[in-house]
Structure 1
């Protein structure tokens, strides 16, 4: 193991942690609002960085570069086209949450439907985080580090054993970070690591192209443009990882859910000191997402030419980094990868704990004691819950190695089972006034059963994103039919209970138009019209 890599990794990791804890040490953590929402004091810069880096984990580095290596650039659809969903969320969803003064996504469901719907969705959320999000983040980080530091050879252990070891280390570090530092430490860390990531977004393609071109960046670039150009195509066919047609069906639904209803993402936005700050932060995160192909996908293109026949395609990104970067930059990349794994893991832990404490544990205690519950008792329960789910994630994560059709495909398919049913009932709650709670409960169960049947019992020749769209439409029709037959006696009216200023950002429409133009340009560049032609 290269000593320079190890020393630079330890140095950059220590500095990021030091800055995070110094900056967050003055923040109070005496109440649930302090611990879970940084006391609603975050400005637009921290919100943007937190949204971006909570979204970017080792999963993207590993999974998307693997997909580019196996297929082509069509996988950028997950990130680049998410800008459309993020702008819709900024304009319509966030104002509703902040006007209603909700602390969790299911809080809105209680206001819109009833308490039992809130309880049911909170349980589904927790299953999603505990079974899908947390283990996947740990696994992605372990794969990256095992390859980058060549852990099996260095310690004389098998690849399977190295995954177990690294999952355990990342899980323990992440758990301590979240429990001790709280939400403020997580958001500060995200800001620091986002700066490092943008540096790497320029550094890694530069060194990769220079290595490919035998010392010449221009020659490396020419190699990518002159051979195997099918990998440059972002307009995916029906046999690719992300067919282009899915961008207008299931992809849009998944992105709307993720950016507008996923608790650990929404928690970043509603922790803002004003609606204006939240909307500006989302715009900043949009711009960062448009730059993502430089770091998250270009390395996969370079790897296509460097490694014609990799057996373990999940190692595309860490292998490239290890081969083309100087030692101290490998250390920086490893530090950012660790930060990406830990901050997404922390955000998931924090949000899981938020859902458990505020939506399940607190109502239970209030009903049992018939009175108010102390903040100290709630915080203690939240920290114990984080410890428990951390242990489960650590023991479950290594088994993702047995997933078929690649790690990233596993991540998306399993996530849909929990997420899109929630999107369906919240979305219809937004756009209707008399839809009853029974429709929400039936719709939630109906979607889960139908999607499971489509994946396990039927041999459909459709991409799973198209299946999502079809089941979403059928479920929506069923819910609207129930609403027509058994309408809610009184129409729902949004009651203002805002905790911060809810004046919108005046320049948001101009910035939104600019971001959409950039998105279209990216697709034109990575298409048969230009680079893939």
Structure 2
């Protein structure tokens, strides 16, 4: 909380750094020699001109925002670091498997790849709609909510969260409207450097505040890395659904992959992904869990308010203003990145397909950005009732992630599959996940002061395990529907016939330029 005598200095630093990032971004994006092309590729892929540094910065900040810093530290246990550590696997799969595929197919959105892999384009529209719904109802408002909660905790004010959320959303929209993905990526990188530096300083100062001892006086379940069956991440789930969650998030999620598609070539994109993966392992785990455990030792169980309270306690007064600026910049960058991805999906998969060819992509992007900004602000109050923002996000994410990943797996591993069959698999996946997680999981135990939801019929079955079941059965349902409803025999790509089909497809892509 701001110290009374220094509040003017802190507020001045907050606005000065926020303005500095804006000026630096403007000069990089609109400075000497930087033109603004009127093309969809410029708006949504930065004209294919992002160097590896900005690819890495944008991928990192699109993922790392206050949902992680506030939400994961809000759990106040080391166990949550597994979400970040396992992300390394997803990034490696993005670099070695999906980046070459996206570039070979000249994709602007991940849904374009699906349209090329299936017989019929309906799968592209359906999955694009699912991404948009997820961004509008989950990711955009969650980013604004968690960022507003942090600033509220840090400043020690009683203002409504909307007082913080609305300005950040409007500034994020301004970046998207005026600079497209290029501005988003540059701002991501500049704010990310400052955010990571101060976040690491917070870790050091937090540990110093408890004499570098986070174990004494803290319950074991908060310091162990081996999750029990009733914990947020039971250890066995690292080998079941966790890996597929990471593949979906890092390799097939438009919000992330769009940044990897914006480099000049595959090698530059891969360098950016490798750099993001190194940050994911070496830096992110420490900053998203250690402060939360220290906050428990200092303040007790304070849930999602933990990070803001700790930062206000350990940082010098003037620096809390600097960190507030970096956090606000991270929220703005994260929000603008998701906003730009959402606008790309709407423009390429709906406006151009069902309304009219896009003659003025900047204008379409501006209108869509304004609409999405308004809806995201209005959704913020709904998240105030969540006990843990990060656990809520992961559970809601599963509703869409595994069904969507099943469409990618069926489309990439098999040929001669009808798009309508893949949609059948999607419907099955959505329904089965919803039944398991929202009907069969009931609150019948209390996990160390928090509500613990246990599967009604199979007490050991965690929602991360359910994701594997949903994924596998969705692919199977797609193939069954494809065979018996549409009369198509799917061909496995690693069979002799599949290899012939793959060679013919690659030849057609090369012939098309």
- TM-score, normalisation: structure 1: 0.85
- Runs of at least 4 residues of structure 1 off by over 6 A? 496-499
Deviations 1:111-134 (A, max 9, x none): 011211111111111111111111
2:19 maps to what in 1? 14
| C-alpha spacing 1:483/1:429, structure 2 compared with 1 (3 Å) | same
| Deviation sequence 1:307-360 (CA, Å, 0-9, x none) | 1243xx211001100111012221221112111211111011101110111111
Report the Cα distance in structure 2 between the residues aligned to 1:328 and 1:273, rounded to whole angstroms.
Answer: 41
Structure 1 residues 301 and 80: CA distance shift in structure 2, 3 A:
same
CA distance in 1: counterparts of 2:385 and 2:490, whole angstroms? 50
Residue 126 of structure 1 pairs with residue 132 of structure 2 = yes
List gaps (5 residues or longer) in structure 1. Answer: 213-219, 367-372, 503-533
Q: 2:404 aligns with which of 417, 422, 425?
A: 422
Comparing 33-42 and 488-497, the one that deviates more: 488-497
Q: What is the aligned-residue RMSD (CA, Å)?
A: 2.0
Separation in 1, partners of 2:103, 2:97: 11
1:302 to 294, 297, 307: 294
Tell me whether 1:397 sits opposite 2:384 in the alignment: no
Q: CA deviation at 1:445?
A: 0.9
Partner of 2:395: 413
Quote the residue 1:177 is aligned against.
175
C-alpha deviations, 1:23-66, integer Å up to 9, x for none?
A: 00124242111111110011111111111111101111111001
2:359 aligned with 1:375, yes or no?
A: yes
Q: Is the CA contact (8 Å cut-off) linking 2:117 and 2:411 kept in structure 1?
A: yes
Distance change >3 Å, CA 126–CA 496, structure 1 → 2 = farther
Mapped partners of 1:224, 1:128: distance in 2? 37
| Number of corresponding residues | 471
Deviation at 1:489, TM superposition (A): 8.3
State the distance in 1 between where 2:395 and 2:203 align: 30
CA–CA distance in 2 between the matches of 1:380 and 1:203?
42
The answer to whether residue 462 in structure 2 is matched with residue 466 in structure 1 is: no
2:108 match: secondary structure: coil
Structure 1 residue corresponding to 2:115, chosen from 110, 117, 139: 110
Cα offset, 1:444, TM superposition: 0.8
Find out whether 1:40 has 2:48 as its counterpart.
yes
Relative distance call for 1:259 and 1:497 in structure 2 (3 A) is farther
| 2:235 corresponds to 1:236 | no
Distance 1:101 1:498 in 2: 9
Q: Which one of the candidate residues 431, 452, 460 is aligned to 2:434?
A: 452
Residue 304 of structure 1: CA displacement?
1.9
Say if 1:31 and 1:3 are closer, same or farther in 2 by CA, change over 3 A.
Answer: same
Equivalence map 1:268-347=2 (5 Å): 268-290=259-281, 291-310=283-302, 313-347=303-337
Shift of 1:425: 0.5
Give structure 2 stretches of 5+ with no counterpart. 442-454, 492-497
1:89 aligns with 2:90: no
Q: 1:497 to 1:348 in 2, by over 3 A?
A: farther
With over 3 angstroms needed to count, the CA separation of the structure-2 counterparts of 1:489 and 1:139, relative to structure 1, is closer
CA distance in 1, matches of 2:59, 2:365: 22
Alignment partners' CA distance in 2, 1:380 and 1:268: 21
Q: Cα–Cα, structure 1 residues 488 and 336, in superposed 2: closer, same or farther, change >3 Å?
A: farther
Question: Structure 1 pair 496/270, CA: closer, same or farther in 2 (3 Å)?
Answer: farther
Q: Which shifted more, 435-444 or 58-67?
A: 435-444
Which stretch shifts more, 326-335 or 386-395?
Answer: 326-335
- Deviation string for 1:460-488 (max 9, x for gaps)? 23221111111212222222333454326
Q: Is the 8 A contact 1:27 1:184 kept in 2?
A: no
Deviation at 1:240, TM superposition (A): 1.3
Which digits, 9 at most, give the CA deviation of each residue in 1:416-472, with x for residues without a partner? 212221111112211112332232010011111111111222242322111111121
Q: Is the 8 A contact 1:436 1:488 kept in 2?
A: no
Structure 2 residue matching 1:424: 3-state secondary structure: helix
The partner residue of 1:204 within 202, 205, 208 is: 202
- Return the match for 2:184 from 183, 186, 211: 186
DSSP 3-state at the match of 1:416: helix
Distance 2:462 2:60 in 1: 27
- 1: CA distance, partners of 2:84 / 2:340: 24
Shift, 1:189, TM fit:
0.9
User: 1: CA distance between counterparts of 2:91 and 2:429?
Assistant: 24
Pairwise CA distance, 1:89: 1.8
Name the residue aligned to 1:80: 85
TM-score of the superposed pair, with normalisation by structure 2? 0.88
Deviations 1:224-246 (A, max 9, x none): 24442622212211111111211
From the superposition, tell whether residues 27 and 255 of structure 1 become closer, same or farther in structure 2 (CA, over 3 Å). Answer: farther
Cα distance change, pair 398–497 in 1 and its aligned pair in 2 (3 A): farther
Task: Give how far 1:179 is off.
Answer: 1.1
Check the 8 A contact 2:192/2:330 in 1, yes or no.
no
Contact 1:100–1:495 under 8 Å retained in 2: no
Check the 8 A contact 1:85/1:252 in 2, yes or no. Answer: yes
Residues 204, 134 of structure 1: alpha-carbon distance in 2 compared, 3 angstrom cutoff = same
2:175, 2:299 → 1: CA distance?
37
Alpha-carbon displacement from aligned partner over 1:366-401 (angstroms, at most 9, x marks no partner): 4xxxxxx3531x331221111111101101111111
Q: Distance in 2 between matches of 1:275 and 1:498?
A: 16
